[in-house]
Amino acid sequence: MLDRLFAFDAQFIQDVIIMGINLFILFFALSYLIFNPARDVMNKRRERIASDIETAKKEKEDAIALKNDYEGKLTNINQEAEEILNAARKKALKQEEEILARAKAEAAIVMARANTEIELEKKKAVDGMKQEMITIASMMAGKVVSASMNAQIQDELVDETLSEIGNETWQN
């Protein structure tokens, strides 16, 4: 029996069958102890990844919705700011017009007051001239009365009176 490479005797066949049964039992035991927990871990991991993907998709959609909402609000804020600026410009123009109107009214009052004062000063000057003329006339009359008058004396008296009061006074 030594010429063969494998000896298929009863002991060998019994050992192969026992080894096959042991291998089958070992496979089921390892399957129960190692493969099933490994499959469970893989399934849980697969479910967690799927859940994370779903959550990420939902959060992305929410972020897009928030972004659109904020962009809309930003547009509204820009429009409101423009409206506020326009209202402020209109108010400033209105105040400018009111200030100009008040300034023009005050200028008109000042001009009227100045014109009134000018007229009063003119009247005072005219009254002063009249008083000067009256004084000159009375001085001339006094001199005429004091001296008997002829044309030559009268001309001398007028020249003398004019020289006393000054040429510039009666010519203005």
- For the stretch 63-119, pLDDT in tens is 999 999 999 999 999 999 999 999 999 999 999 999 999 999 999 999 999 999 999
Question: For residues 149 and 147, what is the distance between their CA atoms, to the nearest angstrom?
Answer: 6
Alpha carbon 29 to its chain's center: 79
Question: For residues 20 and 14, what is the distance between their CA atoms, to the nearest angstrom?
Answer: 10
**pLDDT: is 149 or 83 the higher one?**
83
| Of the listed ranges 20-24, 32-36, 150-154, the one predicted with least confidence | 150-154
Contacts of 138 (CB under 8 A, 6+ apart): none
Look-up: residue for tokens 């490994």?
38
* Domain boundary assignment for the chain: 10-123
Query: Under a CB-based contact definition with an 8 Å cutoff, are residues 157 and 143 in contact?
Result: yes
pTM over 0.85: no
pLDDT at 26 > cutoff 80: yes
pLDDT at 168 > cutoff 50: yes
pLDDT at 40 > cutoff 80: yes
Mean pLDDT (the chain) is 86
Query: Under a CB-based contact definition with an 8 Å cutoff, are residues 140 and 157 in contact?
Result: yes
**pLDDT: is 169 or 57 the higher one?**
57
**pLDDT: is 106 or 153 the higher one?**
106
**pLDDT: is 143 or 19 the higher one?**
19
Q: What is the pLDDT of residue 147?
A: 58
